[in-house]
Structures are given as C-alpha cells and as structure tokens.
Amino acid sequence: MKTALVTGSAGLIGSETAAFFAEKGYRIVGVDNDMRKYFFGDSASTAPNNDRLKQKLGDSYESHAIDIRDNDAVEKLFKEHEFDIIVHTAAQPSHDWAAREPMTDFGVNAVGTLVMLENLRKFAPKATFIFTSTNKVYGDTPNDLPLVELETRYEIDPNHRYQNGIDESMSIDQTTHSVFGASKVAADVMVQEYGRYFNLHTSVFRGGCLTGPAHSAAKLHGFLAYLVKCVVRGEKYTILGYKGKQVRDNIHAHDLVNMFWHYHQAPRAGEVYNAGGGRHSNISMLEAISAVEKMTGKKAVVEYSEENRIGDHIWYVSDVSKFQQHYPEWRYQYDMTAILKDLVSGASAS
C-alpha cells in the first residue's frame, strides 16, 4: 500500500488531503500537535477534526502529535515509513499572530519546512513533496496595481496584464510581507531550492484564500469561514479597512487537494503554482456579507475599523493558468456560491 505523510493533518487542507488520498487507497500518516489551539484559542483547536479523521479513516489513518521543528522525531517517522508523497500543510497562518511571536512563527514556518525537506532528501528522495505556501509571499505589491473603486469592490484596470489574475511572475522583493509572509517566503524558496539543487520532486502552491467546512476559523485567520460562523451565531464581525471592498479569491479545500493529486501523477522539480479561486471564484468583503445574509436569513452584526492589517491586499485574484497548462485535466468543482453554501451548512451544523 502506498503511504502519504500529511503534516497539519487535522487542519483544513491537511484533513482534506488525508481523506482524499485515503479514498485513493493510500495509508495516511498524519502529523498534528494542535498548535492552532495555542495560536488562536480553544475554539480553533484541530482536535475535533483529528477525531473525525480517526473515525472516518479507521486503520488507514495513523496520527502523531509531533512538532515539525523536532528533527529527531521527524527523522524517526521517516525511518519507520516509506513515503510516496509528503503534503506539508502545517504552519502558523496569521499575519497578526506572527508579529506577537516572530521566533515561533519563523520556527514553525521556515525551520519546520527545512526539517521536512532534509528528511525528504535523506530518506525519501523519490517521493513527491507538496508545500502549501501563500499569496502573502508577494507582500503588498498587488496594492500597487491600477485599481478602480466600484460600488461593492475594487477591481483592476481591465487593460492590465493581470486582468485575469496575478501570475507567478510577480516579484516577491522590495515589499512589505508581514512577519508571517516573510517566514513563508523563506520556506517557499527553500522548497524550490531543494527541488532544483537536489533534483527532487518539490512543489510550491501559493494559495489565495483556502476554505471549506473543516476550517477551524478564528478571528485572526480564515476570513470567509469566520464570517459565516459569526453570522450564523449572531456574533460581531469586524471589517478591517478598505471600506469592506477588498477582494479575495477563494478556493475550496477539495479543489486545492485535487491540484495536489494531479501534480503527484506527473511531478516536476522545484515548481511554483499560484492556487486560488481566480476569476472563477472571488468576492469582496461587502459582497460576502450580503451573500451570507441572504443564505442564512440572518442580519450580520458588523463593525468597521479604518485600520487595515499591515501588508494586507486590497485586491487579490490568482491566475492559475500555469497549473492548468501543465495539468489540463484539472477542473474547479466549487464556485463562490457552492463554497458559501458548504460553509453555511457546516457552520449551522456545528
């Protein structure tokens, strides 16, 4: 039986990956020590997701509460198993939290990724390695694009080269990333380097807003799932700057993991892909609030703050055409409406 190692296995993308690859007949070795609870509090704990995975996958799922910064523990795991694929999703994912504890943020995001890569090189050089990076590696450079303010959103000048979305050619230099973005840049570049320098099948997927009902959303991370949770529960939601017209592309966890699957069938060395909802699935904050109110029949309790987060994007839409050219059989299965319905259903059931 083929074996997949999934870090952050009880998180949004990790749990989706575990379930997806288990259905493909893989044995899943999951690594998750629930640091999300440390980052964002009890309500963001991934323990319930881990319990659901154990129940759903049974003997095909093996769970380890390992800290990815612990090389000895990770090395032991690599020595005990022969991995065909490593999907590395474990991370500290918040702008704001990273500024509180930069050492922890960099340790988890950058050093933890290096630990995984070095064990890949030593013990599983034929395996596929997938890293979930972020569009924050581009920093706030997207805010320099020619944007037009419309009634409910900002949009890019229709004649600009990025009208169909931002592609991988955008520079990651001379920009404000946030501390979180900088630690992810370090990991992102190292994943590329291990692929190119050591000729390993490593890949970087620079996600837009990743979402799905398994998202343990919190105030500091997971805007769409957190918004839905607030509306369903009647809790206050705070819009941070840009008049609520900031635009994000959203990709459902299933569609992203399906990208991983297609890449795994024909892996390349040191590759980079932007991975978001693109023009297929994007929404502004104001539009999202309106849509969720209509779906739930509930009025959102909204507060507005003029102060946006440092390095936050005004408009970000991914161009996924490079991935589609390399893997033309991949298709989106969720549009914006389907994503919101799934989130509302999940929040209402919890």
Please report, to the nearest 10 degrees, the dihedral formed by the alpha carbons of residues 288, 294, 298, 304 taken in order.
Answer: 30
Helix (H, G, I), strand (E, B) or coil at 92: coil
What does the buried/exposed string (b/e) look like for 306-322 if buried means 16 or more CB atoms within 10 Å of the residue's CB?
Answer: eebeebbbbbbbbbbee
**Can you tell me which residue has the tokens 């999951």?**
30
Element spanning 228, H or E: helix 223-233
Residue-wise pLDDT for 139-166, tens only, equals 999 999 999 999 999 999 999 999 999 9
Angle at 40 between CA 35 and CA 42, to 5 degrees: 80
Question: How many Å apart are CA 47 and CA 49, to the nearest integer?
Answer: 5
Q: Which CATH number describes the domain made up of 3-349?
A: 3.40.50.720
**In the chain, what are the domain boundaries?**
3-349
Strands (E), the chain: 3-7, 27-31, 61-64, 85-88, 128-134, 147-149, 154-156, 201-207, 209-211, 236-240, 247-252, 271-275, 282-284, 301-305, 315-316
- Please give the chain's pLDDT, 350 residues, in tens: 999 999 999 999 999 999 999 999 999 999 999 999 999 899 889 999 999 999 999 999 999 999 999 999 999 999 999 999 999 999 999 888 999 999 999 999 999 999 999 999 999 999 999 999 999 999 999 999 999 999 999 999 999 999 999 999 999 999 999 999 999 999 999 999 999 999 999 999 999 899 988 766 656 566 788 899 999 999 999 998 999 999 999 999 999 999 999 999 999 999 999 999 999 999 999 999 999 999 999 999 999 999 888 778 999 999 999 999 999 999 999 999 999 999 999 888 77
Which of the 8 DSSP states describes residue 63? E
pLDDT of residue 220: 52
> What is the total residue count of the chain?
350
Q: Where are the alpha helices (DSSP H) in 58-107?
A: 71-80, 95-100, 102-106
Phi, psi of 315 (to 5 degrees): -140, 125
Per-residue pLDDT of 241-281, as tens digits, reads 999 999 999 999 999 999 999 999 999 999 999 999 999 99
- CA–centroid distance for 29 within its chain: 20
